[in-house]
Structure 1
Amino acid sequence: MLSHPLERRNFIKLCAGMSAAFGGASLLSTPAQTAPPLLQQAQNKIDNLKIVDLKYLEMKFPGKLPVKWNSIIKSGGGTPGMTQMEIHTNQGIIGRSLPKGPRSVAEKIFKKIKGENPFFVERIWDRMYRENRKPVAKGDYIKAMGSIDIAIWDIIGKALGLPVYKVLGGFQSKVRVYAAGGYYREDKSINDLADEMEGYVNDGFRAVKMKVGGADFNTDVERVRVVRETIGPDIDLLLDANNKWYAYDAIRFGRAVEKFNPFWFEEPVVPDDFAGCAEVKNAIDIPIVAGENEYTRWGCRDLIVNNSADILNLDTVNAGGITEYRKIASMASAFHIPVAPHGDPHMAVHLVASIPNALIMETYPGVQSQYNPALKLFPVKNGYIEVPNFPGIGIDPDPADVKKYAK
């Protein structure tokens, strides 16, 4: 510490003497550096990269989705397909994501960022959020923002020739995953459910998730018992109520299945009942998961300050994309809360690989393996997947699949 004026003068004289000894090169100033030509050329390309257009790729696949339901919503029955958002640049790089929310909302937002350099991703996110009549904190607007944000990260990774998790700053190259399934179906018995869960284990998963709340109390408890006995004590069993119950019902159910050692109890009460979720959390010995119906860091903040969850599972797209989710994860880490992103794993995997408090990632092998031939499953080994090492996000479709399935 050079606190005395004379000490500072002596230090400057010493540096001047050393400068003379080294041929006059100053140690107190750095001359302007000139980048090698190839590096300068690459820098110029990045500096001149611009967002120019928004398009969509739609693909339809053969077959019919099975009709299934959770505790509150019936789905399926239609033609399987996939939509990809495409953000085009002036240099031919196309950023892709699997979008959520109405296309009309995304098109409106896109007008605010057209012409921006994708590398200014923080400014882009802020501009999308704030340059509205009033900032919108929830709903389709944030879903559209998240869809655009992930496509922009895809551009950045491709421009640098790196997978996005390495651009973000990697934390892990393998990610723990669970198989999400266990839906209710008209012709599905408890033994069929057990066979489904056992099939995921045989495919390499060490954690499986099933739905609860869609049958009567005793039947649902029996479903949990049979699945636990089928998969054994060493496989993690996750329960998802999809916001079915009031707090007292969720507590009653949680106490009834505690003996089967669930890994977690997800969304036990309606999404806006922060106090009820906290009540469930404090009443049972199963970790409570919540957040997939929340948006942005401010939704995360509300869950945390209300002590509503042990684990946060905001959706990567719905929460506002990778840019926003990293803030969410940082906020959660300050309270020693892990995150486990809900939703499509292809949208979450690079985020999960770049943050230290990611617990586990959701996958849908039962649906994606059978009904989406253009988006390959991640191979699972001992409960983990390797993070894709392609430039960008890694969801670019095979041209042969586009030719075969595009509308």
Structure 2
Amino acid sequence: MKQRRSFLKNVSLGAGALLTVPAFAGERYLSQIVPDLKSKAKDVLNFISIKDIELIKLRFDKVTPLTWNAIKTSGGSKASTTFLKITTNEGITGYSVTKGADKDVLSFAKKIKGLNLLNTEQVWHHMFFENRKPVAKGKEIHAIGSVDLCVWDIVGKALQLPVHKVMGNFRERIPVYAAGGYYAEGKTTSDLVKEMEGYVEEGYKVVKMKIGYLDAKADAARTKAVVAALGSDARVMVDANNGYKSAYEAIRYGKMVEDLDLYWFEEPVAPDDWRGNAEVRQELNIPIVAGENEYTRWGARDLVENHSCDIVNIDTIKGGGLTEMRKIAALCSAFHIEIAPHGYAHMNVHALASIPNATILETYPAKAQDFNPALTPFPIKDGMIEAPTEIGLGMDPDPALIKKYRV
């Protein structure tokens, strides 16, 4: 009832009318002002379904720098982004950034045609369990997550609230870190230090750098140089991207930097090496993070039951969307484990704002917008950002960008 009144005030009456409606006004009072207002709002908030589905692919002008982590090379091509756009029977349009094959995203969006998108649990359950074998891993989960996020954008817009407010807000200010520190041709330790110092100047209090591509001694020297340069201005995370072939290699590196008070050590060994992760965790006095390559609550369960990590960083899209991320977080909270979702900040921010045991938000620094202008960076102050105030996910693509860069 409260949500319905909020919808009536914000959408139908407008800001000026808010001042004229007494605090005790109920639906009877509102329906007397505008006779058909109550019935229209009831229709909108009772049933919202898919009318049209569309993918919007954008490719931008600039070629991104060629960089790499411990296991793969990225960049060297024009940046691109794909949005899922769902238009509803009520004229509400939802957007999300997608992962996975286009055909899979479209297929799962079509599966939920005719369902009430306000029933987010039912919608997710239908995508996962209906018309397919219920597997807990695979690229199909990427598609489910992409669709689920778009559904939440629609729900937020229907209620005229940011998604984190719909889910139940927990915090208004969110700690963030700068994801960077990649390897590159000719990049020296001095260059790495300057990069990290630039992030601190941008407002970050936590920065992340890559390790695992060089031998343990060389990467330890790079890590020590960054920590020494930043001093008390910021803390450092390290990310091996599953680069160490064995637990003892990861432990060897970790012992060299254990006294640096690192924020965390991310993905030290292969993603399916739960035993190895647990061994690294047991041997080092550094928080261990894992889960970026896991899927759903069942993947989180495997990490937790095997004592693999101190913090779970399952990707919000790859993990199954916000609907599933809430279950992952609840599972982890039962074991006093924090989460720090990997992936797109503009969608993850709603998880961080609404989930009590979420710890810090991964973001890409402002310079990333030079290559991909689709998602604007958050203003950062003292290592924090404000929870979004835009309705829905707050990441609708700029029509001018679509016109200019659409493939």
Cα 1:366–1:377 shift into 2, 3 Å: closer
Q: Distance in 2 between matches of 1:367 and 1:203?
A: 10
Q: Distance in 1 between matches of 2:94 and 2:369?
A: 24
* SS of structure 2 residue aligned to 1:62: strand
8 Å contact 1:136–1:142 — kept in the other structure?
no
Q: 1:12-60 deviations in whole A, cap 9, x for unaligned?
A: xxxxxxxxxxxxxxxxxxxxx9795334421211223211222111222
Partner residue in 1 for 2:387: 387
Q: Distance in 2 between matches of 1:149 and 1:254?
A: 38
* SS of structure 2 residue aligned to 1:330: helix
Partner residue in 2 for 1:70: 69
Amino acid at match of 1:195: K
Give the drift of 1:173: 1.2
Q: How does 1:2-401 map to 2 (within 5 A)?
A: 36-37=30-31, 38-245=37-244, 246-365=246-365, 368-401=368-401
Q: Distance in 1 between matches of 2:124 and 2:28?
A: 32
8 Å contact 1:204–1:380 — kept in the other structure?
yes
Q: 1:312-342 deviations in whole A, cap 9, x for unaligned?
A: 1000100000000001001111111110011
* SS of structure 1 residue aligned to 2:347: helix
Q: Distance in 1 between matches of 2:97 and 2:131?
A: 24
* SS of structure 1 residue aligned to 2:156: helix
Cα 1:366–1:215 shift into 2, 3 Å: farther
8 Å contact 1:368–1:375 — kept in the other structure?
no
Give the drift of 1:106: 1.7
Q: Distance in 1 between matches of 2:225 and 2:208?
A: 14
8 Å contact 2:345–2:362 — kept in the other structure?
yes
Q: 1:130-177 deviations in whole A, cap 9, x for unaligned?
A: 013311211210010000000000000011111000000000111100
8 Å contact 2:177–2:361 — kept in the other structure?
yes
8 Å contact 1:105–1:144 — kept in the other structure?
yes
Amino acid at match of 1:161: Q
Amino acid at match of 2:108: I
Give the drift of 1:402: 2.1
Partner residue in 2 for 1:14: none
Q: Distance in 2 between matches of 1:236 and 1:328?
A: 27
Amino acid at match of 2:135: V
1:402 and 2:402 aligned? yes
Q: 1:324-363 deviations in whole A, cap 9, x for unaligned?
A: 0001001111111110011110120011100111110101
8 Å contact 2:266–2:289 — kept in the other structure?
yes
8 Å contact 1:71–1:211 — kept in the other structure?
yes
Q: Distance in 1 between matches of 2:81 and 2:231?
A: 35
8 Å contact 2:374–2:398 — kept in the other structure?
yes
Q: Distance in 1 between matches of 2:230 and 2:310?
A: 25
* SS of structure 2 residue aligned to 1:61: strand
Give the drift of 1:87: 1.5
Q: 1:90-141 deviations in whole A, cap 9, x for unaligned?
A: 1221111110010111222223211111101100100100013311211210
8 Å contact 1:119–1:156 — kept in the other structure?
yes
Amino acid at match of 2:201: N
Q: Distance in 1 between matches of 2:74 and 2:248?
A: 28
What TM-score, normalized to structure 2?
0.90
Cα 1:254–1:394 shift into 2, 3 Å: same
Give the drift of 1:374: 2.7
Which of these two proteins has the greater Rg computed from alpha carbons?
1
What TM-score, normalized to structure 1?
0.90
Q: Distance in 2 between matches of 1:52 and 1:86?
A: 11
- Matched residues, number: 375
Q: Distance in 2 between matches of 1:317 and 1:80?
A: 19
8 Å contact 2:216–2:252 — kept in the other structure?
no
Q: Distance in 2 between matches of 1:277 and 1:132?
A: 35
Give the drift of 1:398: 2.1
Q: 1:288-328 deviations in whole A, cap 9, x for unaligned?
A: 00001100000000101101100010001000000000010
8 Å contact 2:51–2:87 — kept in the other structure?
yes
- Answer with 122-131 or 48-57: which moved more: 48-57
Amino acid at match of 2:376: K
| 5+ long unaligned stretches in structure 1 | 1-32
Amino acid at match of 2:40: Q
Cα 1:366–1:269 shift into 2, 3 Å: farther
Cα 1:111–1:77 shift into 2, 3 Å: same
Q: Distance in 1 between matches of 2:135 and 2:184?
A: 37
Give the drift of 1:366: 5.6
| 5+ long unaligned stretches in structure 2 | 1-26, 32-36
